[in-house]
Amino acid sequence: VQILLKLWRNGFSLDDGELRSYSDPINAQFLESVKRGEIPVELQRLVHGGQVNLDMEDHQEQEYVKPRLRFKAFSGEGQKLGSLTPEIVSTPSSPEEEEKSILNAPVLIDDSMPATKIQIRLADGSRLIQRFNQTHRIKDIRDFIIRSRPEFATTDFVLVTTFPNKELTDESLTLQEADILNTVILQQLK
């Protein structure tokens, strides 16, 4: 962790944070640790035993001036627009549930041939992740879904790629021919 300690006439600051007074006993103890060449306890807790690089700047000829807030690029979450499938809010499948479904619906993999992983987002909001050979067909994905979740056996559904959305109508194509290696496939109910 990189930390910048700035010494001011009326206190010190860490990484453009608030001014900390020299007269506060906790702050005095912090500075004493730095003077002895030790990592202050506060920073030890911050990095959990990791490495700390403490840089210092001397501004003791100046009064502390609160730094202006820097522009911060968008750091929120993105949302998918124009999804063909309705957003169904549910808890994601737990790893145990996914493992159970895979055990109940094994896909035979030829380890001597190239393989790929396909993530399948089901219409009920859950997801399945399965390895397939690149020579498996789209029909094998449909069969895997039905074996994993028998409730979809009597349901009419289609398989669709993510953006740009394209319905996988020719189920005789191999995964490589359909260009869906290492991708996410959506299940949409008709």
pLDDT tens string, the chain, 190 residues long: the values are 888 989 999 999 988 889 999 999 999 999 999 889 888 888 888 777 778 888 889 998 999 888 776 666 666 676 665 545 444 444 445 555 555 544 556 788 888 999 999 999 998 888 888 999 999 999 999 999 988 888 888 889 999 998 778 889 899 999 999 988 888 999 988 8
List, in sequence order, every residue forming a beta bridge with 14; answer none if it has no partner.
Answer: 5
Coil/strand/helix, residue 148: helix
Q: What share of the chain is helix, strand, coil (3-state, %, to 5)?
A: 20, 25, 55
Beginning with the edge strand found earlier in the chain, give each strand of the sheet holding 184-189 in spatial order.
Answer: 127-133, 115-121, 184-189, 157-161
Coil/strand/helix, residue 14: strand
pTM assigned to the model = 0.47
- Structural domains in the chain, CATH included, are 2-58 (3.30.420.210), 115-189 (3.10.20.90)
